[in-house]
Amino acid sequence: MIKSILPDVDQGLYCYDTGLTFGLDVGLEILKQVDIDETYFPRRHNYNHGTDPKQLARLIGATKTREIIRRQQQIAKTYPDQAPIDFRQYFFDEIFKQKMMQQVPDYLKLDENNPNFMLQVASTGNVLPAHKGHHRTCSLFMLLESDQQETHWYRNTQDFEVIDPLRIPDLDKIEHVVTAVMEPFKWYIFNHFEWHSVHKYSPDKRRISIGVDFFSINANELLELIVKNESV
């Protein structure tokens, strides 16, 4: 289920059910491997949680650190008594990378870096507050296991600085525009460039997903590419 919250929103620019069916068997193999030992996959460390203000100040300066802390306080007030989810990101190893690449449609093999592949496992916590991607702009996203969580997308109502490395918004200057409850084993276009959050986690249940990630095209270009080639 994907629905627009506001009437002037093109939901396909945020999340889109592609109908693509490649790689389902590879997804099942990955899920089986996660059940056996998820540390089989190489860990992907590229997310700064910003829990050390002194470290942040050294990295981005005192002024930006104060602004990040203010935004973190907004999040805490918006989601009282909700713990941030604990998620772990992994690269595919070469075996799974080759298996998936063999099944990716040729028109999506743009260059040596596009696409790439990622596995994410979330196991505890209640909410993943609004954020946006660091490097990938969009992906083909598939849930391998979930519990009907909601993904929300937002757009700016006012301009404000996106501060690396945390990339969290000023909640007073964004509005909720799209909600999606994605079904397992279906490929969706997922817009990582826009603000998005995930809700309704069950702390005792997992959310496992894989991504066919793109860095050189945006979600709209990916949608056009798929529609053009799948309609032939």
Residues 148, 103 contacting (CB under 8 angstroms): no
Indicate if the pLDDT at residue 49 is higher than 80: no
- The answer as to whether 123 is a domain residue is yes
Domain that holds residue 198: 2-47+82-230
Indicate if the pLDDT at residue 47 is higher than 60: no
- The pTM assigned to this predicted structure is 0.93
Instruction: Indicate the pLDDT class of residue 52, thresholds 50, 70 and 90.
Output: confident
Q: How many domains does the chain have?
A: 1
Q: What is the structure's pLDDT at 4?
A: 95
Residue tagged 């404000």 (tokens): 160
Q: What is the structure's pLDDT at 231?
A: 74
For residue 223, the domain's CATH number is: 2.60.120.590
- The answer as to whether 90 is a domain residue is yes
d(CA 119, CA 43): 9
Task: Give the tens place of pLDDT for each residue, 88-102.
Answer: 999 999 999 999 999
Average pLDDT over residues 120-134: 90
Q: What is the structure's pLDDT at 62?
A: 93
For residue 121, give Cα distances in angstroms to 39, 86, 117: 11, 8, 14
- The answer as to whether 133 is a domain residue is yes
Please measure the distance between the N-terminal and C-terminal CA atoms of the chain and give it in whole angstroms. 26
Residue 38: what are its φ and ψ, rounded to 5°? -70, -20
d(CA 84, CA 177): 22
Task: Give the tens place of pLDDT for each residue, 165-219.
Answer: 889 999 999 999 999 999 999 999 999 999 999 998 887 788 999 999 999 999 9
% of residues, the chain, pLDDT over 90 = 80
- The answer as to whether 10 is a domain residue is yes
- The answer as to whether 15 is a domain residue is yes
Structure tokens at 210: 């894989």
d(CA 228, CA 52): 47
Structure tokens at 29: 């193999």
How far does Cα 75 stand from its chain's mean position? 18
Comparing CA positions, the residue from 218, 223, 162 lying closest to residue 188 is: 223
Average pLDDT, the chain: 93
Q: What is the structure's pLDDT at 48?
A: 57
- The answer as to whether 183 is a domain residue is yes
- The answer as to whether 74 is a domain residue is no
Task: Give the tens place of pLDDT for each residue, 4-31.
Answer: 999 999 999 999 999 999 999 999 999 9
Residue burial 188-205, b: 16+ Cβ < 10 Å; e: rest: bbbbbebbbbbbebeeee
- The answer as to whether 55 is a domain residue is no
Helix, strand, coil percent content, the chain, rounded in steps of 5:
30, 30, 40
Q: What is the structure's pLDDT at 51?
A: 65
Structure tokens at 40: 């089989």
How far does Cα 81 stand from its chain's mean position? 23
